[in-house]
C-alpha cells in the first residue's frame, strides 16, 4: 500500500511528497522533508517550533576550541566518551588535567592533547580539596584563552570527560549568534531539584558551555578575583556562571545541550527530543545503555553516532505518522528508535517524553522535571512496539539516507486482536533526504 501526502501548511516551504509503504514484515517511511505532512488517511509531522533565524555560514568547526575538564585518575575510564567525537586534525580540543599522567602510562594517541592546569596562589590558599578542584575546573576557559589561539577561535566550549558532543550540530547552533558579542550559551538541568540547588539561568557544565571570544577575554581579565567570593557555590559551572553574571551576560538557552541529570532508562527522553539540533549528552555512566541490546554504555552509542555522521542535523528529530485504516500511530526518533502504537495517540501526547527515568536525586519517577512527562503503561497492551536502529545505508555523495530499526522484545507481549498485525512487523525502514544546516532557518 502506498500513500502520497502533501504539505498543507503554506508557512512551511512548498508541498513535498511523502510515501508510506506497509509490508508484512517491514514498514517503509519515505521522508523528503523535515517538517509537516497531513492528509485524510495518513498524517505525518515533523514537530518544529523553535525559531532558529539566521545561520552564519562563515562559522565552522575550526573556529571552536573544546576544553575538557578531566583528571589523571579518571581519564582512562572516561576517555572513550571523548574519543567517540574527537577527530585528530579536525576537532580542536584540549584535555585539562590536574597533574601529569604517570610516566609508565603513555598518553593515548586516540585522545586529544592534554595540558596541566596551572596551580595559582589563589587555589593554594583554599584548604578544602573539593573547592580547589572546582576552582581549577572553573578556570578552564581562562586557561584556554591564555593559550594565545584567540585570533582564530570564536568560541570556547567547555565539557566534562564524560560529555559526548555532536560537533557539526554545535556549529549549527553557535552560527545563530554573533560571536563578536559577549555570549554564554548552554542548557539547564532536566531535574527541578538540580536547578533549585543551582539556577535555572545557569548553563550546566557537563551538557556543555559555549563562551564567545569577547566574553572569554573579559573572564580572563576578572577570573581569579571573581572566583574567591564565590567559593561556597556548588560546582565549577556555578562559579563560572557567577563570574559571567558579574559581567552582565545572561544565558542563551539551547534545547540541544543535555546535562542528563536523570537516572535509569533515558530512552523515553531521547525518543521525544525537542525540536533542536542534538548538541551533547552527559552523565551517560549514570543511565542505562541507551540501546538496551548493547550492554556496554560506550558501545551502545555507536548506532546513533553512525547515523549522525550520515545526517547530523536530523539526529533524534521526531516524526509522527498516522495510518488511519489500521489505527496505527508511528513515532520515529531518527537515528535512534521507532515506536508503533496499534491505536490512535494524539500528536501532543506523542511529543511528551515517557517517564522511563527518574530525577537525579532518584527520589521518584514522577519528577518533577523541567519538561512535561507522561507515565509508562504498566500493561503490555498500553505500551507501543519498540524498534531500535540497527542499520544505516547511504550512497556516497548522494542526498538519501536509509535507516532500519529492528524490533526489541523486552518481555511479555500484548495478545489483543488489535496488536496482531503490528506484531508481524519486524523492521521499520525510514528513507530520508539529508538535512542541510540552512534548513533550520525554515523553522518557525
Which range of residues forms the domain containing residue 165? 61-253
13 and 114 in a single domain? The answer is: no
Please give the Cα distance from 293 to 59 (Å, whole number).
38
Q: Is there a domain that residue 269 lies in?
A: no
Q: Alpha carbon 260 to chain centroid distance?
A: 9
Q: Is there a domain that residue 167 lies in?
A: yes
92 and 198 in a single domain? The answer is: yes
Task: Tell me the pLDDT band of 438, cut-offs 50, 70 and 90.
Answer: confident
Query: What integer pLDDT is reported at residue 405 of this predicted model?
Result: 96
Least confident of 64-73, 117-126, 130-139, 149-158: 117-126
Largest CA distance in the chain: 73
30 and 148 in a single domain? The answer is: no
Q: Contact, 130 vs 233, CB < 8 A?
A: no
Query: What integer pLDDT is reported at residue 191 of this predicted model?
Result: 87
Higher pLDDT, residue 121 or 238: 238
Please give the Cα distance from 352 to 372 (Å, whole number).
6
Q: Is there a domain that residue 268 lies in?
A: no
Q: Is the pLDDT of residue 412 over 50?
A: yes
Query: What integer pLDDT is reported at residue 288 of this predicted model?
Result: 96
Average pLDDT value for residue range 308-330: 93
The residue out of 253, 285, 319 marking a domain boundary is 253
Ramachandran category for residue 53: left, alpha or beta (phi over 0 → left; psi -120 to 50 → alpha) = left
41 and 72 in a single domain? The answer is: no
Query: What integer pLDDT is reported at residue 303 of this predicted model?
Result: 97
Query: What integer pLDDT is reported at residue 120 of this predicted model?
Result: 56
Q: Contact, 29 vs 387, CB < 8 A?
A: no
DSSP 8-state secondary structure symbol assigned to residue 191: B
Q: Is there a domain that residue 227 lies in?
A: yes
Please give the Cα distance from 15 to 2 (Å, whole number).
18
Average pLDDT value for residue range 110-115: 95
Average pLDDT value for residue range 417-436: 91
Bridge partners of residue 338, in order along the sequence? 332, 387
The residue out of 216, 237, 253 marking a domain boundary is 253
Report the candidate in 135, 131, 144, 283 with the shortest Cα–Cα distance to residue 210: 144
Report the candidate in 189, 184, 164, 170 with the shortest Cα–Cα distance to residue 371: 189
Query: What integer pLDDT is reported at residue 429 of this predicted model?
Result: 93
Q: Is there a domain that residue 131 lies in?
A: yes
405 and 356 in a single domain? The answer is: yes
189 and 322 in a single domain? The answer is: no
40 and 92 in a single domain? The answer is: no
Average pLDDT value for residue range 180-197: 89
Query: What integer pLDDT is reported at residue 17 of this predicted model?
Result: 35
Query: What integer pLDDT is reported at residue 364 of this predicted model?
Result: 63
Task: Tell me the pLDDT band of 31, cut-offs 50, 70 and 90.
Answer: low
Q: What cell numbers appear for 315 in the block?
A: 539526529
Query: What integer pLDDT is reported at residue 312 of this predicted model?
Result: 96
Q: What cell numbers appear for 103 in the block?
A: 610516566
**Total tally of structural domains belonging to the chain:** 2
On average, the pLDDT of the chain sits at: 84
Q: Is the pLDDT of residue 19 over 70?
A: no
For residue range 293-313, what is the model confidence (pLDDT) as tens digits? Answer: 999 999 999 999 999 999 999
40 and 121 in a single domain? The answer is: no
Q: Is there a domain that residue 87 lies in?
A: yes
Q: Is the pLDDT of residue 253 over 60?
A: yes
For residue range 57-104, what is the model confidence (pLDDT) as tens digits? Answer: 589 999 999 999 999 999 999 999 999 999 999 999 999 998 999 988
Task: Tell me the pLDDT band of 133, cut-offs 50, 70 and 90.
Answer: low
Query: What integer pLDDT is reported at residue 384 of this predicted model?
Result: 96
Q: Is there a domain that residue 338 lies in?
A: yes
Exposure string for 99-114, b = 16+ CB within 10 A, e = fewer? eebeeeeeeeeebbeb
Query: What integer pLDDT is reported at residue 18 of this predicted model?
Result: 37
Strands 42-46 and 318-323: antiparallel
Exposure string for 5-25, b = 16+ CB within 10 A, e = fewer? bebeeeebeeebebebebeee
Q: Is the pLDDT of residue 36 over 50?
A: no
Least confident of 225-239, 370-384, 397-411: 225-239
**Could you count the other beta carbons within 10 Å of the beta carbon of residue 220?**
17
Please give the Cα distance from 232 to 222 (Å, whole number).
18
Q: Contact, 114 vs 94, CB < 8 A?
A: yes
CATH number, domain of 216, equals: 3.90.550.50
For residue range 340-362, what is the model confidence (pLDDT) as tens digits? Answer: 999 999 999 999 999 999 988 87
Q: Contact, 43 vs 321, CB < 8 A?
A: yes
308 and 407 in a single domain? The answer is: yes
Q: Is the pLDDT of residue 47 over 70?
A: no
Q: How many residues belong to the chain?
A: 444
233 and 310 in a single domain? The answer is: no
122 and 197 in a single domain? The answer is: yes
Q: What cell numbers appear for 205 in the block?
A: 557544565
Task: Tell me the pLDDT band of 50, cut-offs 50, 70 and 90.
Answer: very low
Strands 328-333 and 318-323: antiparallel
Q: Is there a domain that residue 55 lies in?
A: no
238 and 386 in a single domain? The answer is: no
Amino acid at each position: 500500500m502506498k500513500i502520497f501526502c502533501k504539505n498543507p501548511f503554506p508557512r512551511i516551504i512548498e508541498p513535498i511528497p511523502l510515501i508510506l509503504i506497509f509490508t508484512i514484515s517491514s514498514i517503509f517511511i519515505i521522508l523528503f522533508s523535515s517538517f509537516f505532512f497531513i492528509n485524510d488517511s495518513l498524517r505525518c509531522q515533523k514537530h518544529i517550533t523553535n525559531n532558529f533565524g539566521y545561520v552564519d555560514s562563515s562559522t565552522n568547526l575550526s573556529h571552536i576550541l573544546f576544553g575538557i575538564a578531566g583528571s589523571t585518575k579518571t581519564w582512562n575510564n572516561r576517555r572513550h566518551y571523548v574519543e567517540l567525537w574527537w577527530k585528530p586534525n579536525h576537532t580542536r580540543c584540549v584535555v585539562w588535567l590536574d597533574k601529569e599522567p604517570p610516566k609508565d602510562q603513555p598518553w593515548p594517541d586516540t585522545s586529544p592533547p592534554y595540558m596541566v592546569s596551572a596551580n595559582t596562589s589563589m587555589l593554594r590558599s583554599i584548604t578544602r580539596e573539593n573547592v580547589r578542584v572546582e576552582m581549577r575546573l572553573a578556570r578552564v576557559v581562562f586557561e584556554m584563552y591564555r593559550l594565545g589561539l584567540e585570533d582564530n577561535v570564536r568560541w570556547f566550549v567547555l565539557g566534562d570527560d564524560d560529555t559526548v558532543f555532536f560537533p557539526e550540530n554545535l556549529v549549527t547552533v553557535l552560527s545563530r549568534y554573533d560571536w563578536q558579542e559577549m555570549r554564554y550559551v548552554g542548557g539547564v538541568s532536566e531535574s527541578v531539584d538540580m536547578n533549585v540547588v543551582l539556577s535555572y539561568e545557569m548553563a550546566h557544565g557537563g551538557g556543555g558551555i559555549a563562551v564567545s571570544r569577547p566574553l572569554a577575554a573579559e573572564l580572563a581579565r576578572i577570573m581569579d578575583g571573581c572566583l574567591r567570593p564565590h567559593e561556597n557555590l556548588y560546582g565549577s559551572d556555578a562559579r563560572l556562571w557567577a563570574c559571567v553574571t558579574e559581567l552582565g551576560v545572561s544565558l542563551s538557552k539551547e534545547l540541544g545541550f543535555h546535562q542528563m541529570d536523570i537516572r535509569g532508562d533515558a530512552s523515553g527522553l531521547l525518543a521525544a527530543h525537542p525540536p533542536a539540533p542534538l548538541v551533547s549528552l552527559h552523565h551517560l555512566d549514570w543511565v542505562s545503555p541507551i540501546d538496551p541490546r548493547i550492554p556496554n554504555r560506550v558501545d551502545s552509542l555507536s548506532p546513533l553516532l553512525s547515523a549522525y555522521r550520515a545526517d547530523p542535523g536530523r539526529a533524534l528529530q521526531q516524526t509522527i505518522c498516522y495510518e488511519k485504516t489500521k489505527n496505527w500511530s508511528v513515532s520515529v526518533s531518527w537515528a535512534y528508535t521507532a515506536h508503533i502504537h496499534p491505536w490512535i495517540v494524539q500528536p501532543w501526547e506523542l511529543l511528551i517524553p515517557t517517564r522511563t527515568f527518574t530525577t537525579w536525586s532518584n527520589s521518584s519517577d514522577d519528577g518533577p522535571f523541567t519538561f512535561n512527562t507522561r507515565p509508562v503503561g504498566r500493561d503490555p497492551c498500553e505500551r507501543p512496539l519498540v524498534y531500535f536502529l540497527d542499520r544505516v545505508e547511504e550512497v556516497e555523495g548522494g542526498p538519501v539516507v536509509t535507516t532500519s530499526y529492528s524490533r526489541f522484545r523486552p518481555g511479555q507481549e500484548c495478545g489483543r486482536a488489535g496488536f496482531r498485525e503490528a506484531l508481524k512487523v519486524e523492521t521499520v525502514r525510514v528513507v530520508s533526504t539529508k538535512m542541510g544546516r540552512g534548513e533550520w532557518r525554515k523553522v518557525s
